[in-house]
Structure 1
Amino acid sequence: MKRTTLAVLAVGAAVLGAPTAVAHAAPPGTPCPPAVDRALAHAPDGAVVQCSSGRWEAYGGPYPHSDRWLSDEDGLDLHGQGMRNPEMMSGPWTGIPQDPATRCRAEQTAVVSAGEVGPPQVAEGEPGQPLRFEVLPVMFSIHLSGDCLWQAN
């Protein structure tokens, strides 16, 4: 795969209006399971929500940033420390399936030099098994998929 410049990615996303994939979180005020308490996700309307005390609530911060995220089969797109205002920090992470048939998958790209990102790096777990992987220090973007809770270790 050819290296892609950051400028092309940014312009392409802006021109196409590329939305962030929606995780299976419900609208604010609806129940969330205790296992995902403190996790961030996207509501069906694309708003960032956080599970707090058994309910999804609108996220109150200016930039979503968390050590716990929730994805679904369609996935969740986040950016890392290779961009401003990272949503996900580098280091060891674990994807925890929320269903025994779920396979957690993380596909990330990292900045390799000024204005360039390298090819995607993929980590994929077995059905029903946690996936342990490393988020790269200069991660540009990551696509998390599967009905999974992602948490920093």
Structure 2
Amino acid sequence: MTHRTALAAAAVTAVALTAPAVAHAQPAQPQPAGQCSENLSGALTQLPDLRTLLECRALPGLGYQWQVFDSPYPNSDRWLTYGPTVTLHGEGQRNREINSGQWTAYPQDGETRCTVSQVAVVSAGEVSPPQLVTGEPGQPLKFTAVPLLFTIEMSGNCLWQRED
């Protein structure tokens, strides 16, 4: 092997060893009239504009699609997060979007960590510090959404489902 070939091979090896690992692709953002899977039926999700909610619904002859959820007071026992953090109001505020109780977050792929941070009302005008829980990659995360929940932030490519 010539000196020039050896240097080229060493340079390629050095680049390969120092190159960053390929990042896990972000899941696709749900779109109105876009396809969703049957296991997401009835789940709500929030778009990045923080105003638009979509619900995965079965449509005759079309399968499961994301449809705009047009209730002025959304509340669901099933939520999908796909990347951006979703912040919801609980029982400690008017027009709650999520109920307290036993919940499980199901990662939608083997690398996802589901993360939840919740704040509760302690007394009039006072809230607790955030309680943060993060699951293991690809493993369901079981947690209790606290009574008098003020806000909850959920993130990761996860399906969040109330169990009780």
SS at match of 2:39: helix
**Alignment match, 2:32:** 28
TM alignment of 1:2-81, pairs within 5 A = 25-46=29-50, 47-53=52-58, 54-81=64-91
Task: Report matched runs for 1:67-146 at 5 Å.
Answer: 67-146=77-156
CA-to-aligned-CA distance 1:33-61 (integer Å, 9 cap, x gap): 22211100013544111000110001132
* Identical-residue share of aligned pairs (%): 47
Deviation of 1:78 after TM superposition, in Å, equals 0.5
Task: Select between 121-130 and 71-80 the one with higher mean Cα deviation.
Answer: 71-80
Q: Secondary structure at the match of 1:49?
A: strand
Distance 1:43 1:102 in 2: 19
Conserved 8 A contact 1:26-1:44: no
Q: Secondary structure at the match of 1:51?
A: strand
Number of equivalent positions: 131
Name the SS for the 1:111 alignment partner. strand
The higher radius of gyration belongs to 2
